[in-house]
Structure 1
């Protein structure tokens, strides 16, 4: 088997996956993020510049983690890595803008997040995403991120089959960002009302777990990867969508909220882990979502790769330094790591190493 054939094969072992991550993914993500950092530094408006730079500095591991999907198809990484980094950068930038917003206007939040829908719908006409807020002068930063996504998508030969499923996830993501950032007195009611319209899609999940699922970009990234296949059809795209949403996506964001509890409490931000009766219930629910996610990825090709994604999520979040700073989270983390498979322990050690050497 030659190198070209080998590079096309989806990695089946943790060592094979991480060797690709160290050799290709992390260096190439760094290059993309540096490009966007230079762009962000040119933003005229002080508040927009501050939030754009903060999102690149504090949330770059989102791009590093998302770009792991490019490791499953190295010959197409020149499309996948810039696409995933640009899409995730839009998400992180807007999250910062809305979290620390000078506005509580749901129409403003929806207008901003139209950029995420436009990014995955190349045949639409972009709009003025800042039309409903006072800070507007970004020098074209957000539009260039959108255009980068659209240009990359134009090179994905199977995108038409994936498009409706990506649009579904982007639409749910937008809804969540609107409802979770409005006035604290109104957001829970708005979220529950929204969930009631979608509860039939995931009757096994509680409302906070479904909402968490809509906040993940992993389903979109997996569909970007699938769209590199010119023979992708609706049946395959639908199966991939169902294998990731809601359970893999819910696990991703519940772990994110698990480690952010103290931070969110201080910032007055909504946290989906706060809606459990007690720590035991939270632990049992997250453990159940892990098992549902594992079961779901058995239905699609390259199951070992997707199992590694699940173990990698647990390792990435439970190895975060924020875990050791929070007594409750530390206890829950220990119990989730107890009797871990070797794959999870391997990724746990690697996650700690990457964090330790993040500035190299």
Structure 2
């Protein structure tokens, strides 16, 4: 198996080098990409689609900033990776907004909308009218342009054919989750449990809500985009990356997201996977187990220090969120998760605070 030796030398090995690349190259280029998409979104004819597209960019910019960190591991290809990651994440955030605050509760509508994400990573498929099953129709070509931007940049990834089966698997799971978690509230849990029954053999160590959370992360896809920027990538290496990211790193990512959104989701009537734990202590112990699983999994990968920074950066990014200080129980949980934090996590915590305040 090719161990991606060439790319190993490009991975930043310590936090200061990683963040210097992020500040110098990644954040400015993410901002430039999002400015372009904000302008496109502002031209959407349908007022509801325009509102949701603009809101997704305004409130979820940090998703693109975090995802684009992977481009810091191959600066020579960042002009492909940053536009690709930003476009793909922008589709995800836009559709999440459309479904969260939907004028529809139709499972078929949600699946058709998310077909755009599968089409974005499957260049041979034919694009279609993703709004065909909902009232709002005219986005002025916005979603098609996002899909085409993904495709155009994927065409520049020399190792994409090796990564594609693993990417399609992760995007397929993501699509299923988005469909089931947005249907009528009284049907969500039973649909998710039925879906989990089909897949639980893949992650026997996880509870159903943890498996569902793991399918909601785009980090595995972004890591595979990065790997596909290397022409030496083979299918075995892509499978290794998939297995190292799913389920533990992906699960940690989304459980932390749900952890800080509990009050917001309760008010909005949105499903939250952290609410299924019996108590705070159980939740924290399960998240700690998933952190340990993630740390163990990355040891199988080349440049494990880079992926360790991803794990510590996730903890720092979410636990430094302003929402934490506004919720007493989450503030307590954050203190427990940050207790005995390695210096690396504290470093990323301080940087996360600085980026939120100044960028």
Cα separation, 2, equivalents of 1:284 and 1:265: 23
Offset of residue 127 of structure 1: 1.1
Kept in 2: contact 1:209–1:272 (CA 8 A): yes
Matched, 1:76 2:77: yes
Cα deviation, 1:127-148, whole Å, max 9, x if unaligned, reads 1100000101000000000000
What is residue 106 of structure 2 aligned with on the other side? 105
Q: Which runs of 4+ in 1 moved over 3 A?
A: 5-8
Contact 2:68 2:82 in 1 (8 A): yes
Partner Cα distance (2:53, 2:191) in 1: 28
What's the TM-score once normalised by structure 2's chain length?
A: 0.98
Structure 1 contact 11–72 (Cα < 8 Å) conserved: yes
Q: Which runs of 5+ in 1 are unaligned?
A: none
Matching residue of 1:205: 206
| Equivalent residue number for residue 118 of structure 2 | 117
CA–CA distance in structure 2, aligned partners of residues 251 and 104 of structure 1: 28
Q: 1-side partners of 2:327 and 2:204: how far apart?
A: 31
Question: Paired residue for 1:273?
Answer: 274
Contact 1:8 1:74 in 2 (8 A): no
Which residue in the other structure is 1:334 paired with?
335
Hey, what does 2:178 align to over in structure 1? 177
**Greater RCO (CA < 8 Å, at least 6 residues apart):** 2
How far residue 6 of structure 1 moved from its aligned partner, in angstroms, is: 11
Secondary structure (helix, strand or coil) at the match of 1:112 reads helix
Give the equivalent residue in structure 2 for 1:282. Answer: 283
Separation (CA, whole Å) in 2 of partners of 1:76 and 1:8: 14
8 Å contact kept, 1:8–1:73: no
Aligned: 1:147 with 2:148: yes
Residue 221 of structure 1, CA deviation: 0.1
**Contact map agreement 1:7 1:74 (CA 8 A) in 2:** no
**Number of the residue aligned with 1:313:** 314
- 1:324 maps to which residue? 325
For residues 346 and 232 of structure 1, the distance between their equivalents in structure 2, rounded to whole angstroms, comes to: 32
SS of equivalent residue, structure 2 residue 340:
coil
Structure 2: distance between partners of 1:247 and 1:347: 20
Match of 1:345 in 2: 346
Contact 1:8 1:75 in 2 (8 A): no
2:7–2:74 contact (8 Å) kept in structure 1:
no
State the partner residue of 1:27: 28
Which whole-Å CA distance do the structure 2 matches of 1:218 and 1:266 have between them?
28
C-alpha separation between the residues in 1 aligned to 2:326 and 2:122? 42
Contact 1:40–1:141 (CA<8 Å) still a contact in 2? yes
> Aligned pairs, how many?
354
How far apart are 1:231 and its partner, in Å?
Answer: 1.2
1:8 positional shift = 6.2
Provide structure 2 residue ranges, at least 5 long, that are not aligned to the other structure.
Answer: 1-5
Aligned to 1:12: 13
The residue matched to 2:231 in structure 1 has which SS? coil
Deviations 1:109-135 (A, max 9, x none): 000000000000001111110000010
User: Partners in 2 of 1:232 and 1:254 — Cα distance?
Assistant: 30
1:249 to 1:7, Cα distance in 2 relative to 1, 3 A: closer
Q: CA RMSD of the aligned region, Å?
A: 1.1
Q: CA deviation at 1:7?
A: 11
Aligned residue number for residue 96 of structure 2 = 95
When the two structures are superposed, what TM-score results if normalisation uses the length of structure 1?
Answer: 0.97
Change (3 A) 1:124 1:111: same
The superposition leaves residues 189-229 of structure 1 with CA deviations (integer Å, 9 ceiling, x where unpaired) of 00000001000000000000000000000000000000011
Structure 1 counterpart of 2:358? 357
> 2:81·2:225 contact (CA, 8 Å) conserved in 1?
yes
Q: Quick one: structure 1 residues 184 and 76, their matched pair in 2 at CA, closer, same or farther if it must change by over 3 Å?
A: same
- Partner secondary structure for residue 123 of structure 1: coil
Q: Is the Cα contact below 8 Å between 2:8 and 2:302 reproduced in 1?
A: no
Change (3 A) 1:6 1:131: closer
